[in-house]
């Protein structure tokens, strides 16, 4: 499909495949549509990003490529996994700067995913051993992690009071400001995969009776307050959001996911976010594809901005999504983790490295992290 390869990006000089066509993302000129999805890697000692992340992210950077950093905690109550980075302290902000600089040095565009895990945590990750916070006080059953090996254990959460919620909104606002101070081009609010914002949105978790529970509008109130606070703080042209209305990660399902997804994208339109990043309905649980009768197309049509899709995509699938206008950009996770030069491999239709699940979360600063070979190393 692709002709001669031009330059290090692997952008073809003649008839590029749809994934490798340029795209204007607000003020950013993307040279292709292959996005690095946010991937938890658990190599940030004491929640501080480490120098080995400089190589990891720069390996996956192309000129005009969009990268979304791993989930980054907004506060000391936001953590639920070992050695995940944060962005609530000065030390963390300073530690991110050389990582961001390395991506920018290669011409990449870098967004920081800011998250709060909510009840997907236990007292061991919380300040002073306190209970994790959530919209509910119903606990989670133990969950197998996406490497298929680790089993996460959870503590009974504490239900946030109505009066406490503005403080959590403020934590997100400050994290967004810190991300811009660290040099990121923008932030992606994590409203997906069973974490705190998703817990509020989903009716199978949210059992509140105040203004943050009950109706669809009430359940979406807190996530939209977070969006508004961040847009006011750093500007809509630097704010994206990730949503997974159809997913059931961490027992966060909804009885009417299509209505939830549509309500959210229609509500987001008034804030003019730079993008909406949605997870395919086929990715209902961690790392497994299912046949699904549902589609993201209604949300795609309703959202008046850049639409990014993720969830089980390969080269052909991604090309079709762009060619058929079902998405503007396609985010790749595990396959990008294992193929740091993924856009080039897609251009050449080259074979891909297999990912190794066993090293997704091992705390090694090289193995399973920066040691996946480039195409020229395998020839």
Q: Which residues are catalytic?
A: 195
CB distance 195 to 188 below 8 Å: no
CB distance 97 to 50 below 8 Å: no
Beta bridge partners of 68: 111
Beta bridge partners of 242: 190, 277
CA-CA distance, 164 to 161, in Å (whole number)? 5
| CB-based contacts of 209, cutoff 8 Å, min separation 6 | none
Q: What are the angstrom distances between the C-alpha of 141 and each of 211, 252, 341?
A: 27, 12, 38
CA-CA distance, 125 to 132, in Å (whole number)? 8
């Amino acid at each position: 499909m692709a002709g001669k390869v031009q330059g290090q990006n692997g952008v073809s000089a003649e008839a590029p495949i749809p994934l490798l066509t340029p795209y204007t993302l607000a003020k950013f000129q993307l040279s292709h549509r292959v996005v690095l999805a946010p991937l938890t890697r658990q190599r940030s000692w004491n929640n501080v990003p480490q120098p080995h992340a400089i190589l990891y992210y720069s390996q996956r950077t192309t000129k005009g490529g969009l990268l979304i950093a791993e989930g980054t905690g907004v506060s000391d109550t936001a953590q639920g996994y070992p050695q995940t980075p944060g962005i609530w302290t000065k030390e963390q902000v300073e530690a991110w700067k050389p990582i961001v600089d390395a991506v920018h040095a290669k011409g990449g565009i870098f967004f920081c995913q800011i998250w709060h895990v909510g009840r997907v945590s236990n007292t061991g990750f919380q300040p002073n051993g306190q209970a994790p916070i959530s919209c509910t006080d119903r606990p989670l059953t133990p969950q197998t992690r996406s490497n298929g090996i680790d089993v996460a254990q959870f503590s009974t959460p504490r239900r946030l009071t109505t009066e406490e919620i503005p403080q959590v909104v403020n934590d997100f606002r400050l994290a967004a400001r810190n991300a811009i101070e660290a040099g990121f081009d923008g932030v992606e609010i994590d409203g997906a995969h069973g974490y705190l914002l998703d817990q509020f949105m989903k009716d199978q978790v949210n059992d509140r009776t105040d203004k943050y529970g009950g109706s669809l509008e009430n359940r979406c109130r807190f996530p939209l307050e977070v969006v508004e606070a961040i847009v006011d703080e750093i500007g809509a042209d630097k704010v994206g959001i990730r949503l997974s209305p159809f997913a059931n990660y961490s027992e966060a399902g909804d009885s009417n996911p299509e209505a939830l997804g549509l309500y959210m994208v229609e509500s987001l339109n008034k804030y003019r976010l730079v993008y909406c990043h949605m997870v395919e309905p086929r990715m209902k649980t961690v790392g497994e594809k299912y046949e699904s009768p549902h589609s993201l197309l209604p949300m795609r049509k309703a959202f008046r901005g850049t639409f990014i899709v993720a969830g089980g995509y390969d080269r052909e699938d991604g090309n079709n999504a762009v060619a058929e206008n079902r998405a503007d950009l396609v985010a790749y996770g595990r396959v990008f983790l294992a193929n740091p030069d993924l856009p080039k491999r897609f251009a050449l239709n080259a074979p891909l490295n297999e990912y190794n699940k066993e090293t997704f979360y091992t705390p090694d600063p090289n193995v399973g992290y920066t040691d996946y070979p480039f195409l020229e190393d395998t020839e």
